[in-house]
Structure 1
């Protein structure tokens, strides 16, 4: 795929959705960090249901620490892997209080040192909370990048690096959100809705469907 096509793809994404953002509910970098930790192998809808109960009660490292592991579990037990996630969140809160003055750090190195935070989670926080160009490649972005030809790669890191290099700079900050939303609602895993896709004529996927939503 050439630069001209990529530019047109992201121009259309921007025209359709000028201010894309995460579907996780949050009102601070800390709330976003916790929501993203909880979202591993879980849906945003499921995480929002839990955090809508949790955050009015505890939405700082100190207040979540005060709940303790068992207290936290009561709020997040509807989410998959809640036992290990509760442990990681408590450990993360302790590190934030002891090492970062209760604030979420703005560096990748410090974020990835937190329990339950990998490269993808760090990228979401850097991009969405702190406005840094970063690409959190999940299953949706991996699929869309490969299927469309925007930035094909054999693994998540390869796709991330290609996207960072190939997405035109003016679109880099929001590209992560556009690609996730496109994969979640249009370029779906089993049967992409090619007939309803705003970039169908630019996409290089060979087995297009005439499926409309």
Structure 2
């Protein structure tokens, strides 16, 4: 895909959604960190249902740490892998309290040192909480980037590096949200909704699907 076509795609996505936001509910960097950690292999809807009950009770490193693993589990047991996630969140809270007075560090290496926090989670926190031009690549973004031929790669790291290279600076802060939402609601996995896609004519996917097919 050429540079001009990529710019046209991003321009349309921006016009359609000028101020994209994550669908996870949060009101602080710490709440976002917890929500994203819980969202691994789970839907944002399921995470929001759990955190909508958790955060009014405990929404700081100190207060969640005070719950303990078993206490935290009672709030997140509807989320997949909740046992491991509870353990990781409590350990992460302990580290945040010990090293950063309970605050979330605006630093990639520090974030990735926390249990349950990988590159993707760190990218989301840096981007959404702190406004960094990072691009977190999940399965939705990986699919959209490869299917459209916007930024092809054999794995999420390759796709991330390609996106960082080809996305103009003016779009980098928001491109993660545009692509994930596009993959979640339009360019879905089994049968892309090409007939209702605002970038259908720019997409280079050869096997487009339309309602009457």
Report Cα offsets for 1:27-59 as digits up to 9, x if no partner: 000000000000000000000000000000000
Over residues 49-71 of structure 1, what are the superposed CA-to-partner deviations in whole Å (9 max), with x where a residue is unaligned?
00000000000000001111100
Distance, in Å, in 1 between the alignment partners of 2:211 and 2:125 is 35
Output the CA distance in 2 between the equivalents of 1:165 and 1:127: 17
SS for the counterpart of 1:94 is: helix
Counterparts of residues 106-117 of structure 1 (less than 5 Å): 106-117=106-117
Deviations 1:115-142 (A, max 9, x none): 0000000000000000001111000000
Corresponding residue of 1:86: 86
Distance 1:142 1:66 in 2: 38
- For the Cα contact (< 8 Å) 1:62–1:93, is it kept in 2? yes
Q: Check if 1:44 corresponds to 2:44.
A: yes
Equivalent position of 2:129 in the other structure: 129
Q: What is the CA RMSD across the aligned residues, in angstroms?
A: 0.7
Say which SS state the counterpart of residue 57 (structure 2) adopts: coil
Q: Quote the offset at 1:101 in angstroms.
A: 1.2
Does residue 186 of structure 1 match 2:186? yes
Distance 2:151 2:211 in 1: 24
Distance 1:209 1:46 in 2: 29
Misfit runs of 4+, over 2 Å: none
Provide the secondary structure at the position in 1 that maps to 2:34.
helix
Unaligned runs of 5+ in 1: none
Query: Residues 134-158 of structure 1, C-alpha deviation per residue, up to 9 Å, x if partnerless?
Result: 1110000000000001100001100
Distance across 2 between alignment mates of 1:80 and 1:41: 7
Q: Which aligned pairs between 1:40-189 and structure 2 lie closer than 5 A?
A: 40-189=40-189
**Matches of 1:109 and 1:8, distance apart in 2:** 34
Name the SS for the 1:199 alignment partner. coil
Instruction: Using structure 2 for the length normalisation, give the TM-score.
Output: 0.99
Aligned mates of 1:29, 1:198 — CA distance in 2: 32
The Cα of 1:211 is off from its aligned counterpart by 2.8
Does the 8 Å CA contact 1:146/1:153 hold for their aligned counterparts?
Answer: yes
Task: State how far apart, in whole Å, the 2-side matches of 1:162 and 1:121 are.
Answer: 19
- Give the TM-score normalised by the residue count of structure 1: 0.99
CA shift, 1:109, in A, is 0.2
